[in-house]
Chains A and B, each alone.
Chain A
Amino acid sequence: MKFQSRVMVLATLFLWACSGKVDSQSGDQGREAGGGEDNGPGPGGGGGTASVGEAKAVGTFPLRRLSRTEYNNTVKQLLGDTSRPADSFPREARAAGGFVETLGASSVEIARYREAADNLAAGTVKQRWSRVVPCTTEDDACAKTFIESFGAHAFRRPLSADEVTEHLNLYKKLRAAPIAFDHKLAVQTLISAILQSPRFLYHFEKPAGKPKVQDGAVVLSGYEVASRLSYLLWQSMPDDELFAAAKDDTLLSPDELAKQARRMLADPKAGDGVGSFVAQILDADRLEDIDKDRDVYPSFSYNLATSMQKETRAFAAWAFLQAGTLDALLTSNTTFVDKNLATLYGVSDAASFGTELKEVKLDANTRSGLLTQASFLTVQAAPFETSPIKRGVVLLERFLCERPPVVPDQIPALKPSKPNMQTREKFEEHTKDGACAACHKVMDPLGFAFESFDGIGAYRPMDQGRPVNTSGSLELDDKTVAFSDAKSLMAAMAASPTVQRCMATQLMRFGLGRDVQDADAYSLGNATKLFQAKKRDLRELLVALVATRSFLFRAPFEGEVL
């Protein structure tokens, strides 16, 4: 397996000119595909006809740190600390599909890790000592017991004998002159050190020694799979039951894996997993600091934006874990609102709502699933108007798994808009112009479907005093699909094999912490088939994904001795 450099891949990307339609055969070119010179149809896009892939191919395992969300959830489970220290960490970059990507840590990340570790260690020793220290003597023996148990949780795998010694030596150094810390302070310092270790901070639970190899691929150990599973489904570390299954690799048997996955999906923590997945796809975390022109949207407030984020997570948990289908996610009129959102959505009796979210059914004629809810409609809009382009691009990239066209070199000046032009009319200027038309004819119509929602997600049948036009068409699964509004577009999307495969692709990106590669085609194809056979059940898709080769194997690292 060759590692293809990003720069090289970019070169491919730019070759993908605007074809004027969403082509199910070309969507993957330019993605960060692993090795291979072939730029044919890749694993992510395409309809039911995509390549079946090679059964024994295997993808890469890029090194990454815990995301901010994962860090917060992990220290909550590890230490019982709910202070969300990672909220003060710098934001992650965003990778293909919209998912967070941790690049190399720079000095500020390191400083934040230090600060968080010191605070977490101090808080733990002060308030939750017995939770992490399983013995009462103040000596080396107790320190060793602590190191073995806490280390195995923090590093998400048992420590080797050398590692235990390494930590015990640090403890002894802290106890001895000239530092001469007492037992508690030495343990506190040790906790802080462990929380700053790359063994805690990185998704890397590889046990010491040579890994198991099969057909040229590295077989992930029970502990590595346990963490993959728990960060995919919970965005957090494994619990004791999962650790127990990891211990003797029973977790690696297909039955046990499915059993654990189903158990985890039934746990309330699964809401954190799918909530984070959906929030990332929608860029919903940008609601933390988005602002709107208050002349245009006087009802917008930061409180409203916070409500939108909560709604997205609650709806994601419901759609994935209760209703459990892609159809529910994309077409249901069920959602969860507080008073702010009830007012925005025009729910009757809005005044009776409080600050807690309540399940409601919105008007089925206007609201149809996730993309007709406020988070998407607000984030993917300009401060002072809607943005059919932004909305269209997110649909294209994250629900159809097509790469949006690249902005060309020369952009001619837009004609000044005339007074009283509707947003759609202004944007249709793009599709008239020869140079712009090729790309915007693909992107904009998808966005036009949402023109009946303003820049903060309120229903607006009129723009500039005239009814909005929400109709359009797109090329989907090699057919031309006409839609009259967001509702009919969403219905077509939920039924589309391309969208179904894209959902599998997105979950795979999320679960592997990397883009899909050519080597994933076989795994992705199988998971998608099962998803379709099980009536688009999202839980079944997750269970299928964690049993794939992509999830359980990795390519060797460059230069890795096997």
Chain B
Amino acid sequence: MFKPTAKNPGTESRWSRRRFLSAAGLSGAFLPLLGTARADGAAPKRLVTITWTGGIRKGNFWPVLGPTGGETDWRLCMPGEGPSFAPFTMPVLEPVVKDFRKDMIILAAMDSSAFIEGTPKNGTEKPGGAGGHDHLPCLLTGTPMAEYRDFFETAGGPSIDQVVGRAVAERANLPFHALVLGGRTGTGYQATVCYAGKGDGGITPETNPARLFKTLFQGRNLGGEMFDKNFAAQASVLDYLSKDLSRFVNQFGAPEKQKAQSHFDAIRDLERQFSAPSAVSCALPAQPAAEFKGDAAYPALLKAQFDLLTVALKCDLTRVATFNLTGSGGDDIHFPWLGQEFTEPTNDGPGSYKTRHLHEISHSEFHGGAYARRHALVARWFWEQVAYFLGRLRDTPEGNGTMLDNTVVAVVNHMGLNHAVRGIPVVLFGSCGGYFKTGGRLIRYGDHKLTRYTYFWGEGDQSDANLGPRFNNSGVSMNRLLASLGNAMDVPMATFGDPRFGGELTELKA
């Protein structure tokens, strides 16, 4: 009954809503009103955000300006080239610059304004302080926190992926409004940059590829009698839960209602996943391994997630996704594949390592020399993972170009230098269907004064041990980039989040 019928991914090949409803024996009254066909004929635009923690180190991230000072005249700093205060130079961006320079815009740099200026008593401009761990509820929401306490913060509003995702999914009738993926979620600190709305403590990322596979694809292009029955039974259960939650929510006043509402919304999202049409012409990806256990499996875990994400985007199950490669702490990620210095064993048996986890490595300002080197090696490895995903997009033809052309991939670290919430590096890849002017641009903002070594930051007070006011080097508000991303996705917005922090960065536009 639910057998996929046609071969075109556009419209006819999707299960019709009416068919679904009649088979499930549902009235349809509780389902969101959905269109029956894809309205826009063009290749879909997409927004993918990739993020991880640990910040940047002097001498290994920001490019060196060329003689003309033009925005495309830059190169990466090479090993041994750094000044004495940053002896561990390493071109950590090389993995993406090598193949994707023409697709890039480097933004130097962004400030988490909603945290710095909006969140009361945030105060964490402190050297090595927790600001860079704490401000995640502000980073992609552009909104001051609703509540700020240690190891637990709530957002003051929804993050950009949720707002854009809902608008796009509604318009284009997509099963998933936005995917929130994870690598490892970390411990204690925030696990995510995605927030459903005010008061939300964070949308937990899906870190298990097998579960993600099941959520995305199970049943979607399988035929057969047994499947159809289960599908209909699941829809009946969702119908039951939806009515149940609706009654439940409505008996409460504001504070309780808000909590129950997010539960209700999540059930409605599930219903959408069951009722929205599904692209059946996509080849099902390989079933990922059931488990990715231990530190050594982390690279394979990220690859599996990137592969599933690529297919989900290609099949148009969603157009918005955020991949939290790490949580905000990074205490649970070790890098044994990066060499002997990461693999000194412990007495926990084979496959366990002395504490050289991402968090400790990112605190190299406390630990000194060898850690700065490790930080560079780790950073470079993360950029290799980004390059892998960009390659998957670039190698998938779509419309007149590739999936990468139709997408904007925003790569955002949680931190700037040494856990700072200012000077956060952001790199965009892809023009989002021609909206952004790419071409390997380096766009500089704020008071990052430019000299040859500007992007080592902070001259005159350079030793790692002595941290000081140079954390106040400021860039441009993250809010302005968020507004640009919304507009690029054809969700028009003058500002995003707290309007005090400004609107779109017009210089990014083509």
Chain A interface residues (CB < 8 Å from chain B): 3, 6-7, 10-11, 14, 62-64, 90, 93-95, 103-111, 114-115, 166, 170, 173-174, 176, 178-181, 189, 192-193, 196-199, 202, 204, 286, 289-295, 298-303, 383-384, 406-411, 413, 416, 557-560
With A106-B262, A294-B354, A410-B123 as contacts: A170 and B348 at CB distance below 8 Å: no
Contact call A103/B229, Cβ cutoff below 8 A: no
Contact call B354/A293, Cβ cutoff below 8 A: yes
List residues of B (1-53) whose CB comes within 8 Å of A's CBs.
1, 23, 25
Query: Which one, B251, B266, B360, contacts A383 given CB within 8 A?
Result: B360
With A3-B254, A179-B229 as contacts: A198 and B263 at CB distance below 8 Å: yes
Chain B interface residues (CB < 8 Å from chain A): 1, 23, 25, 120-121, 123-127, 129, 146-148, 151-152, 154, 180, 185, 187-188, 191, 196, 199-206, 211, 215, 228-229, 232-233, 236-237, 240-241, 243-245, 248, 251-256, 258-263, 266-267, 269-270, 331-332, 344, 346-348, 352, 354-355, 357, 360, 465-468
Contact call A179/B260, Cβ cutoff below 8 A: no
The interface residues of chain A lying within 8 Å CB-to-CB of B152 are 93-95
A94 and B153 alpha carbons, distance in the complex (Å): 10
Contact call A179/B348, Cβ cutoff below 8 A: no
The interface residues of chain A lying within 8 Å CB-to-CB of B200 are 103-104, 106
A199 and B244 alpha carbons, distance in the complex (Å): 8
18 extra interchain contacts, Cβ-Cβ under 8 A, other than A106-B266, A197-B241, A291-B331?
A: A7-B146, A10-B120, A93-B152, A104-B199, A110-B267, A110-B270, A111-B211, A173-B236, A179-B232, A181-B229, A198-B248, A202-B260, A290-B187, A294-B355, A303-B348, A407-B124, A558-B254, A560-B253
Contact call B126/A411, Cβ cutoff below 8 A: yes
Closest to A406 in B: B121
The interface residues of chain B lying within 8 Å CB-to-CB of A3 are 253-255
Contact call B347/A289, Cβ cutoff below 8 A: no
**Shortest beta-carbon distance from A115 to chain B in Å:** 7
A290 and B248 alpha carbons, distance in the complex (Å): 38
A294 and B259 alpha carbons, distance in the complex (Å): 42
A302 and B349 alpha carbons, distance in the complex (Å): 10
Contact call A108/B255, Cβ cutoff below 8 A: no
With A10-B120, A10-B148, A410-B123 as contacts: A178 and B23 at CB distance below 8 Å: yes
Closest to B152 in A: A93
The interface residues of chain B lying within 8 Å CB-to-CB of A300 are 346
The interface residues of chain B lying within 8 Å CB-to-CB of A301 are 346-348
Closest to A110 in B: B266
With A63-B256, A289-B331 as contacts: A411 and B347 at CB distance below 8 Å: no
Contact call A111/B120, Cβ cutoff below 8 A: no
Contact call A6/B147, Cβ cutoff below 8 A: yes
Closest to B465 in A: A416
Query: Which one, B123, B203, B241, contacts A108 given CB within 8 A?
Result: B203
With A105-B263, A179-B229, A189-B237 as contacts: A14 and B121 at CB distance below 8 Å: yes
Contact call A181/B348, Cβ cutoff below 8 A: no
The interface residues of chain B lying within 8 Å CB-to-CB of A411 are 123, 126-127, 129
Closest to A188 in B: B233
Rank and list the top 5 A-B pairs by shortest CB-CB distance, nearest first.
A558-B253, A104-B262, A108-B204, A409-B123, A294-B354
**Shortest beta-carbon distance from A519 to chain B in Å:** 16
Contact call B252/A291, Cβ cutoff below 8 A: no
The interface residues of chain B lying within 8 Å CB-to-CB of A196 are 237, 241
A307 and B151 alpha carbons, distance in the complex (Å): 25
Contact call A11/B196, Cβ cutoff below 8 A: no
A346 and B149 alpha carbons, distance in the complex (Å): 38
